[in-house]
Amino acid sequence: LIKKGIYISKKNKKKISFVDLGCGDANVLTQIVKLGLLNIGEVLGIEPSAIRRKRTKEEVKIMEGFAEKVPCKNNSLDMLMSSQVIEHVEDDGPMLDEVRRVLKKDGIFYVSSVVKKPWGFWIYWKEGGFVSDPTHYREYKSQEEFENLIKNRGFEVIGRNIELFKHPIVDLFIRLLIKLKFVKPANFVKIYENHKWLFWIRNIFRLPMVGFYNVEVLAKKR
């Protein structure tokens, strides 16, 4: 869906303005740039965490910013993507309003999040139920609920996808070592940086997360 959004944004344009909101380490944004999908127009990653900004590659420009207050001008972007961020924001409505503010007319918005079914089961427990991540403010009940949220904030849904989440088994093992205090939390990323072969194992061996789905929506500003 991200590629589809880029191709739509690039129609009749040589270059586009593109922002990854809540880009983390900017791994996805870096891959998009390296693949040449954007023709290297105005590309920007926005991330609130100083630690994660320091870990980004030189290929992309990263700046400090928050989902509820995007540091971009009104009607200035051709496309904005935000992957697995909205569930970390206390109030999703103002975030969507900000996205709409900074997008140009007919600007493209890619957003993904978590859908939890009633039978969802995982290793984390919060407020009387299982969750995929205890730092989430919410996990949406259905694809329809997520789409309606976006539609009600001034967007037209033009693409969708939903699939079962699969969690890297290596991550679970490392988090267990952290919980047992064999590994410091700050060293989580360093383990992968110091042992590149772990990335290969991480991408191959994944455990299905029962009842938890990755929901993706591609939308256009109305």
Per-residue pLDDT tens for 206-215? 999 999 999 9
Taking residue 114's Cβ as centre, other Cβ atoms within 10 Å add up to 22
How many CA within 13 A on the CB side of residue 11? 9
Mean pLDDT of all residues in 158-175: 90
Per-residue pLDDT tens for 109-147? 999 999 999 999 998 889 889 999 999 999 999 999 999
Minimal CA–CA distance to 35: which of 63, 11, 61, 7?
Answer: 7
pLDDT of residue 38: 62
pLDDT of residue 14: 75
In whole numbers, what is the pLDDT of the chain averaged over residues? 88
pLDDT of residue 193: 66
The token duo for 135 is: 């730092």
Domains defined along the chain, listed by start: 2-114+137-164+210-221 (3.40.50.150)
> Residue 146: which H helix or E strand, with range?
helix 143-151
- This prediction has a pTM of 0.87
